[in-house]
Amino acid sequence: MGRVTERRRVLRIRNGAVDHRADTLVAEEPLEIRLNGKPLAITMRTPGDDFALAAGFLVSEGVLGGADELANIVYCAGATVDGSNTYNVVDVRLAPGVPVPDITLERNVYTTSSCGLCGKASLDAVRTTARWPIADPSPLRLEPGLLSALPDRLRAAQRVFDRTGGLHAAALFTGEGELLDVREDVGRHNAVDKLVGRALQQDLLPLAGKILMVSGRASFELAQKAVMAGIPVLAAVSAPSSLAVDLAGESGLTLVGFLRGTSMNVYAGEERIALPAPAAGRV
């Protein structure tokens, strides 16, 4: 798997037995994303699908919305002494006529859930930059049993997690529960960007009628990425943040948390959940 995993020597203690052996770890390296040659962002990621990650990041930033708006993505020379390529810097070139955003230190601060500036301004920013409305209740109607099956399907599709135990994952499902794509990364936001970026490269945006399933919690940032990609349903195995719930309520996103076994909490968009009819005689 190349740079996706690395080997390190560890001291292992099991039931009083002690030995040294090699352990497989998930790789983590910085990726600098440039836009038309200018530095835009740096993210810590698991190498792989770097072009898709960059494209998906720009979808969540409101810069890209279709494959026709992307000219190309290339690796740039890295900062090594001999000038060799580290494959840790990518440059995204927009198609002619696509507006280039003003790149400043204040740009789109709502994209980072830990920025300390999240709140009403964050919600307003997503509302004004989202290209595809998802507030209209779509024909998508999901049985609770279908949602309950998604975490196991996601886990079964994780290839690198089995070797390292240290990766987040994001998967894209149809409304019928068919797995379309799954990506892994040390950062769950990167895994989502890789999914969305691959969809953009295949000219599949918006992802109407699809379900985004993520490992871990549902942060504001992940809800934002779902809305920006036109995904109507976000499901997570853990808890959402309060701002993620606020964004889901304002945008029409169906947000499901604590999806474990047959249990789940629906925090917003419950109109897309096909609830069983009450038993006869019950009120």
Q: How far apart are CA 212 and CA 173, in angstroms?
A: 7
H/E segment holding residue 9: strand 5-14
* pLDDT of 229 over the 50 cut: yes
Q: How far apart are CA 166 and CA 196, in angstroms?
A: 22
Residue, of 27 and 104, whose pLDDT is higher = 27
- 3-state DSSP percent of the chain in helix, strand and coil, to 5: 30, 30, 40
pLDDT at 27: 81
* 115 assigned to active site: yes
Tens digits of per-residue pLDDT, 47-69? 999 999 999 999 998 999 999 99
pLDDT at 11: 81
Tens digits of per-residue pLDDT, 126-146? 776 889 988 766 679 999 999
* pLDDT of 86 over the 50 cut: yes
Residue, of 26 and 228, whose pLDDT is higher = 228
What are the distances in angstroms from CA 80 to CA 86, 89, 251? 7, 12, 45
Q: Letter for the amino acid at 134?
A: I
Residue among 71, 74, 77, 115 flagged as catalytic: 115
Cis peptide before 144 (omega within 30 of 0): no
